[in-house]
Amino acid sequence: MLGYRAGWVSGNRVRAGIVDFGFRGVPEARLHAAGAAFARDVLPGVLREDAMARLRWHRERGDAVAVVSGGLETYLSHWCEAHGVDLLCSRLEVRDGRMTGRYHGPQCVGEEKARRIRERYDLPRYARIHAYGDTHEDHAMLGLAHEAWYRGRPWRR
């Protein structure tokens, strides 16, 4: 963590270490249940009301809405399903019913966010694309949007 704070170690490497330490060998069913509980009991208390209002605004307009996150499918899938939104996020690797402690594919951060969006959606089909981010790892995704917001303020490339 000190290396990360000093800029010597990437966020990807730190997250990979945390995933290895925290999840290696954990039964998939146990992690799935914990993710469901986290999405139900914890996430509602930490999500900003302005962000939730914006989500409702998009859904009321009939917009296609996706959460694009470096967070884990383990809990985000439950939350997104409950709110009727699509999900592009980081996934964990499972082998024989147990977590391996590794990511399944690349972490969904930085350029990977933009790549997954372009892969899933035919962007020229949309008249207006909105994007919201709060870390430097969101910049590539924000660059795809007509209207981009960073930490609650309009974002300029």
Q: Say whether 12 sits in a helix, a strand or coil.
A: helix
What does CATH list as the number for 2-109?
A: 3.40.50.1000
Predicted structure pTM score: 0.91
Q: Which residue has the tokens 């892969």?
A: 119
Are the C-beta atoms of residues 75 and 39 closer than 8 Å to each other? yes
Per-domain residue ranges of the chain: 2-109
Stretches in the chain below the pLDDT threshold 70: 1-5
Look at residue 121 in the predicted model and tell me its pLDDT.
97
Look at residue 9 in the predicted model and tell me its pLDDT.
75
DSSP 128: -
Q: Which residues contact 21 (CB under 8 A, 6 or more apart)?
A: 101
Q: Give 67-95 as a DSSP string.
A: EEEEEEHHHHHHHHHHHT-EEEEE-EEEE
Closest CA relative to residue 132, chosen from 146, 143, 148: 148
Q: Which residues contact 123 (CB under 8 A, 6 or more apart)?
A: 117, 129, 144
Q: Which residues are registered as beta bridge partners of 87?
A: 67
Structure token digits, residue 64: 């296609």
Q: Which residues contact 34 (CB under 8 A, 6 or more apart)?
A: 74, 75
